[in-house]
Structure 1
Amino acid sequence: MMSAEQNRRLTQTGPGTPGGELLRRYWQPIALAEELAGQRPVRPVRLLGQDLVLFRDEAGRLGLLDRDCPHRNADLAFGRLEDGGLRCSFHGWLFDATGRCLETPAEPEGSRLCDRIRQRAYPVAERGGIIWAYLAEGEPPAFPALDCFAAPDSHVFAFKGLIECNWLQALEVGIDPAHASFLHRFFEDEDAAASYGKQFRAASADSDMPMTRVLREFPRPRIEVEPAPHGLRITALRRLSDSHTHVRVTNLVFPQAFAIPLSAEMTITQWHVPVDDGNCYWYAIFTSFAAPVDKVRMREQRLALYELPDYRPKVGRHNAYGFDAEEQQRRTYTGMGEDINVHDQWAVESQGRIQDRTREHLASSDKAIAANRRLLFRAMEAVERGERPLMALDEAAATGVTGPATMDGIGPTEGWERYWPEVDRRRRQGAPWARLAAE
């Protein structure tokens, strides 16, 4: 049983909190690159309880600054993008992407006030269609050589969505293999040929059995959890017969992401990023090993459920998640439509803005969740001792953290341990970019 203090330690992310100090040691997704498209590439953003402004200047440089102007704290998100930086609309103070004050135009001629003024700026980088921020002091860690960062732009697609709850409970649904047989159960199967971009709709590798049937008919997976360089490898085994077993390999990418198969061709790497303690965004990079991603189709599928500019779900708490009692009887286990993001959103938001883990009772199927919480506690203690936590990598170590391998297939009951690496190897052999990365 978890104590209230342990739960606070896991869920609080503001400056000075143990969890907040840990998460600040990593690059955090802060916006999709497409959010800075258009005539005025300026976005207010909130990350780990801090209010910031993100912009791209006329030269294409990214800047991330504290949102309140250091003059009299007006909102820089409404500033003017001009003259090499972002200019406050209150008195015209101008700041470049590094936070340097370039002008204080209301001051007397010859004033050097701007030489003494600096707005706090944070490192930013662009990878995989996402803009990333680093909020701690010192040198940021290196990006690991994950598939989603190694693949070319043509083979990745990024999207995000808002969830109104704490980041950790949103993450934990993604490392829980057992829930899929219930929360994502469909009473009828679809044509696998129409499954592009949809989770749990394709057939498993080396089989024509749809994943929906596997989940529906075999709801008691044996779950194996083992340490991996990136965090945890999670294997769910559903025994179909004496000779065949469904094998699904997923991963926790510490501290905030999971990597899972979408189909035989595509994987999802998804981060859960605190806006504050009661809200988070999921950021996903879909990575294709074969053909380039159909980005138009993927975006249209997701915009059917999310509204711009804030990527808020169209179906959610405000309209009872689209619940339909008739549908629950005949078509889906939840009665909440066929998009699994809605199912997951209900599951984690219904736990409250911040789940009270003192009231939960973990079961054997929750072993990955328990293992991840132990990793988080140990990493917080490492930061408090002044040590480098897991996955806060230097350049040398980052090149060795690759993949991670994911798969979903039906293989032999005896020898499944050899089967799944072979499926991953075959997929990589068929991906030109993966072969080049390995050479």
Structure 2
Amino acid sequence: MISEEMNRTLTRTGPGTEAGAVLRRYWQPVALTDEFDGDRPVRPVTLLGERLVAFRDEQGRYGLIDRHCPHRGADLCFGRLEDGGLRCPFHGWNFDVSGQCLETPAEPEDSTFFQKIKTTAYPCVERNGIVFAYMGPLEDGEEPPAFPSLDCFVAPDAYTFAFKGLIECNWLQALEVGIDPAHASFLHRYLEDDDPNQGYGKQFRDFVGGTDIPMTRILREFPRPKIQVENTDFGLRIKSLRDLNGEAMHVRVTNQIFPQAITIPMSQEMTITQWHVPVDDETCYWYAIFTSFGKPVDKALMKAQRLDLYEMPDYIPKIGKRNNYAYDPAQQQSRTYTGMGDDINVHDQWAVESLGPIQDRTKEHLATSDIAIGAYRRLLLRAIKTIKTGEGKLPINSAEGGPASVFGPIAVDTVAPPDNWTDSWIATDKARRDAAPWSNEAVTSAAAE
């Protein structure tokens, strides 16, 4: 249970807010590169409460600038993409990806007024299907922080797939479900096991650790994990241990990458790195990169599976609160714990949206299984204090944190002897990396130190 004031501090991310000041010092997903397909690569974007427009110019550079022209405030989402920038249709003022005005064509021919005009702009880069922007403060000539060497960025494009989806709630409650290992045994419980060989592209459908035990069975039959949380140079490492009747130990390793991402195992072959990105204080997007350590990703199948569930162009869920999350009492008795279909995104969406647009944490009662949630909130509050006082450094992968050197992080499910499980997750990951065409052996050696 926390105070109303602290809840506001943790959840609000608009301009001038304390949590927003933290998030702005890290790279933020802006859009999928797929959203720039077509003849006119221009997209309206609201990010951290700021109304912006994203575009790709003729040279292939991505820009993210203020949505309103600094001349008279017209909407640049309707701009003409030409002559090296995005041109306002009102008076022809043209802006490049840096926000610099290139031309004010209604002014006298010899006018240099345009050289004095620069609109808000944030540097952008593309990584494996997602365009990211850095919205933090930078001095003139200062470069934004480098990207960390996460698996999802190190892997070649053929071994990754990116997607996103809208969630109608505050970003923090969306993030907190991802660092809550206990919920999977209930919210994502399947009352019968499907054939794991038919589970490509779906979470919790694979066999575990080279065994013939489906992940769905472990979650269903062993609902009381022992959870360990470790502070790392990238955020938090979370280990969930399920004692399988003294015969073996199931070890699940997930990660919170500060400030807003998680990396979790999806199957023996794939991991998911997922960001929870505020649109405003009551809406967010999840962005995910699925990374394969085995075969190249079947992108067409992965995309088709997800397009069955989302409406374009804004990636709005087809199943949600407007249709009661497709809740079916009969299915709740025979198929899934929630009665909301087989897709876990629907389960998560219900869980976080049902808390309200911004959860009232003054009424919550955290328990032992919520250890990672408490650890994360302390991490965020510490980062807020760092910015306010100017003392210390933010975690790695920020402008204050120095060069990016995070590897991995390791995210696996494995089964080991109950009295010798400690290093099993490292060994499982090493075997997977040794077989991967693009493996980064530094991850395993760094984890073992």
Match of 2:222 in 1: 218
Amino acid at match of 1:68: H
**Hey, what does 2:152 align to over in structure 1?**
148
Residue 33 of structure 1 is matched in structure 2 by 33
Note the 1:41-80 alignment, pairs <5 A. Answer: 41-80=41-80
3-state SS of 1:131 partner: strand
Matched, 1:379 2:383: yes
Shift of 1:124: 0.6
Return the TM-score normalized by structure 2: 0.95
Q: 2:166 aligns with which of 145, 162, 165?
A: 162
Which of 320, 335, 339 aligns to 1:335? It is 339
Assess if the C-alpha contact under 8 Å between 2:395 and 2:401 holds in 1.
no
**Is 1:418 aligned with 2:426?**
no
Distance 1:144 1:320, change over 3 A: same
What residue is the counterpart of 2:323 in the other structure? 319
Question: 1:160–1:282: 8 Å Cα contact kept in structure 2?
Answer: yes
Distance in 2 separating the partners of 1:2 and 1:435: 41
Q: TM-score, normalised by structure 1?
A: 0.97
Shift of the alpha carbon at 1:98?
A: 1.4
Any unmatched runs of 5+ in structure 1?
A: none
Taking the TM superposition and a 5 Å limit, the aligned residue runs for 1:77-96 are 77-96=77-96
SS in 1 for 2:201: coil
Could you tell me which residue of structure 2 aligns to residue 365 of structure 1?
Answer: 369
Please give the root-mean-square deviation of Cα atoms over the aligned residues, in Å: 1.5
Instruction: Give, in angstroms, the shift of residue 113 of structure 1.
Output: 2.2
Aligned residue for 1:293, secondary structure, equals coil
Q: Secondary structure at the match of 2:393?
A: coil
In the alignment, which of 342, 346, 359 is matched to residue 350 of structure 2? 346
- What is the match of residue 129 of structure 1? 129
Question: 8 Å contact 2:241–2:250 — kept in the other structure?
Answer: yes
- Residue among 265, 268, 276 paired with 1:264: 268
Choose the corresponding residue for 1:429, options 423, 428, 434. 434
Shift of 1:257: 0.6
Q: Is the 8 A contact 2:330 2:339 kept in 1?
A: yes
Residue 395 of structure 1 deviates from its aligned partner by 11
SS at match of 2:73: coil
> Structure 1 residue 331: deviation in Å?
0.8
> For residue 14 of structure 1, what is the aligned residue in structure 2?
14
> How far is 1:290 from its partner?
1.1
Contact between 1:206 and 1:411, CA under 8 Å: does it hold in 2? no
Q: Identity over the aligned pairs, expressed in percent? A: 63
Distance 1:216 1:154 in 2: 34
Q: Of 240, 248, 252, which residue of structure 1 is paired with 2:252?
A: 248
1:391: how far off?
2.5
Distance verdict in 2 for CA 1:273–1:435, change over 3 Å: closer
Q: Which residue of 2 aligns with 1:236?
A: 240
Aligned AA for 1:259? Answer: T
**Cα distance in 2 between the residues matched to 1:171 and 1:352:** 15
2:411 corresponding residue in structure 1:
406
User: Which letter maps to 2:179?
Assistant: I
Q: Alpha-carbon deviation of 1:119?
A: 1.4
Q: Which runs of 5+ in 2 are unaligned?
A: none
Query: What per-residue deviation string (whole Å, max 9, x for no partner) do you get for residues 335-355 of structure 1?
Result: 100000000000000000000
The corresponding residue for 1:205 is: 209
CA contact (8 A) 2:150 2:407 kept: yes
Distance 1:141 1:409, change over 3 A: same
What's the CA shift for 1:325?
1.0
AA of the residue aligned to 1:389: L
Specify the SS of the correspondent of 1:335: coil
The one-letter code matched in structure 1 to 2:42 is V
For residues 234 and 284 of structure 2, the distance between their equivalents in structure 1, rounded to whole angstroms, comes to: 22
Q: In structure 2, what is the Cα distance between the partners aligned to 1:27 and 1:182?
A: 33
Tell me by how many angstroms 1:117 deviates: 1.4
In the TM superposition, residue 111 of structure 1 has moved relative to its aligned partner by: 2.6
User: Which stretch has the larger CA shift, 111-120 or 36-45?
Assistant: 111-120
Paired letter, 1:226: E
Instruction: State whether residues 396 and 405 of structure 2, in contact with CA within 8 Å, keep that contact through their aligned partners in structure 1.
Output: no
